[in-house]
Structures are given as C-alpha cells and as structure tokens.
Amino acid sequence: MIKRDILIKWHFSHPPEKVWECLTEPKLISQWLMKNDFKPIIGHRFNFYTKPIPQMGFDGIVYCEVLELIPNKKLVYTWKGGPRPGVIGLDSLLTWTLMPDGDGTRMILEHTGFSGWKNFVASIFMEKGWKKISRRMGQVLIDMK
Amino acid sequence: MDTFQAIADPSRREILMLLTKDKMSINSLAGNFDMSRPAVSKHVKVLYEAGLILISDQGRERYCELKPEGFGEIKKWLTFFDQFWKEKLQNLENLLNERSKNSANFHPPGK
C-alpha cells in the first residue's frame, strides 16, 4: 500500500541526553508539544490532549502506546486519533531517532503508516493521471505544493 | 454526505483510483467490480453528491471523471502534519536553548 510518510531532520546544538529529556519527561513534553501522561515504559498507553479540530474529524485526543525505547537513541510510539472515543481515523506511528553530531544532536522524526482514507488520498495525489488533471486545477493546487 | 464518509467505503476508493488514470464510463467501471452495475451506479452517485467526481453524458454512456476541487478538505489533512511537526520541533529547539541558558546561569562556565 502506498504511504505518505513524513520525515523531518533537525539539528540541535545540545547533546542527545538533553534532547531525550525533552522527549520523555511529561512536563517537558507538554512545554513544546502537548499535555500528556507519557511514561518511558514499553507498553505504556498514554494520551496527548489538545484542541479538537472538528472539520478534520479530530476530537483533540491522540491515543498512544510506547513500542520501543532506547535511552538517548530511539523512541517509538503509536499515534492514533479520531472524531470521538473508539473511532480511529488516523492510525500512525512516530519514530524519534537521536544521534550525536559534534557537540549537538541530529534528530530524525518519522511519522509513518497513515492508513485508511488518508493513505488512499495520498496515493490519489501521487498518481500520474492525477498530475495531468491537476494542471487544470489552478488555484487549488498552488497552495498544495 | 461529506467527503470523508464518501471515501470511507473501499469500493468508492477503488472507483476513484480507477478514475485517476482516465475518465471512464459507468459500464467500464462496473467491469472492474464483482458487484452489479446498479450497485456501482449507486456508489458513483454518492461520489458525485460529495463533489468528488463529475458526470457527463456522451452518446448512450455516462462518463465519470475526478473533480479536483472536491479534494480540498482532504488536502488540509495531507499538509497538516508537515506544518504541525515543524512548528513543534521549533518549540522543542527553543525549549532546549532556554534550558541550557538557565543551567549555564546556575553553573557559569570557566569556574
């Protein structure tokens, strides 16, 4: 199945230990990401809480489970959301990878495994035939990039 | 029916995928499915009402094609997380800078 994965690379001028703290301490996480009840334990289920976005079918709660944890190196958790409890529209995976880079840290964030309709829409947008059609789209496409 | 409901159904997604290749008549669409032509026709109607496809009559055939403008809402989702993570990572960088500045104040270097 075709996926549209997000991969972002980032450099921090701080050592991996410092970045790791910010990825795994709930109070710190909430300062840059969202309120949460994260615990650095494999199998721990936790949520992120933010504002709902009804027009995107999102009720403001992200449901997560810690899958992998290698201190200062790698953190993997699921990232699921939907319009109301029990209904999942977005079923995805977050992978945080840290590597020492000089005095700082090189971080790779992967947001992968979009399934269901999102996956499908992504593949529609990637089809050649779609590109042909999209030339006629004008404004709609310009801000799509 | 809104866009998301319209594409929640696997058959309708399949129809849209077929239409990414070219415009197609309802008969030739139906040739790709095990279900009856009326069943395919019903799905086509849902897609039409959700604004995802256009229908035109050519001779005795009804032709369907994708309507790009109809996908605007979904497009928002596609670009949402790119933007979201870039903002959040910038927050993270600011937080790290702030924390190291604070700890530098408590333990001035060179002492």
Q: Is residue B51 part of a domain?
A: yes
In order of their start, the domains of chain A are: 6-114 (3.30.530.20)
Q: Tens of pLDDT along B19-61?
A: 887 899 999 999 999 999 999 999 999 999 999 999 999 999 9
Q: How far is A47 from chain B (nearest CA, A)?
A: 17
> Are B8 and B56 part of one and the same domain?
yes
Pairing of strands A90-101, A74-81: antiparallel
Pairing of strands B24-25, A45-49: unpaired
- Asked if B85 has any chain A CB less than 8 Å from its own CB, the reply is yes
**Dihedral angle over CA of A35, A41, A45, A49, nearest 10:** 10
Residues paired with residue A66 on neighbouring β-strands, in sequence order: A77
> What is this model's ipTM?
0.77
What's B47's domain CATH number? 1.10.10.10
> Are B11 and B61 part of one and the same domain?
yes
Cα gap A83→A121, rounded to integer Å: 18
Q: Is residue B27 part of a domain?
A: yes
> Are B83 and B58 part of one and the same domain?
no
Residues paired with residue A48 on neighbouring β-strands, in sequence order: A36, A62
Q: Tens of pLDDT along A90-143?
A: 778 999 999 999 999 999 999 887 655 555 665 565 554 444 444 444 333 334
Q: What is the pLDDT of residue B9?
A: 77
Residues of chain A with pLDDT > 70: what percent? 70
Indicate yes or no: pTM above 0.80. Answer: no
> Are B16 and B48 part of one and the same domain?
yes
Q: Total domain count for chain B?
A: 2
| B80: containing domain | 72-106
What are the φ/ψ torsions at residue A61 (nearest 5 degrees)?
-120, 125
Closest CA to A64 of A99, A28, A88: A88
The chain A residue lying nearest B7, using CA atoms, is A117
Which among B8, B76, B96 has the least Cβ separation from residue A14? B96
**Which of A48 and A133 is assigned the larger pLDDT?**
A48
> Are B11 and B60 part of one and the same domain?
yes
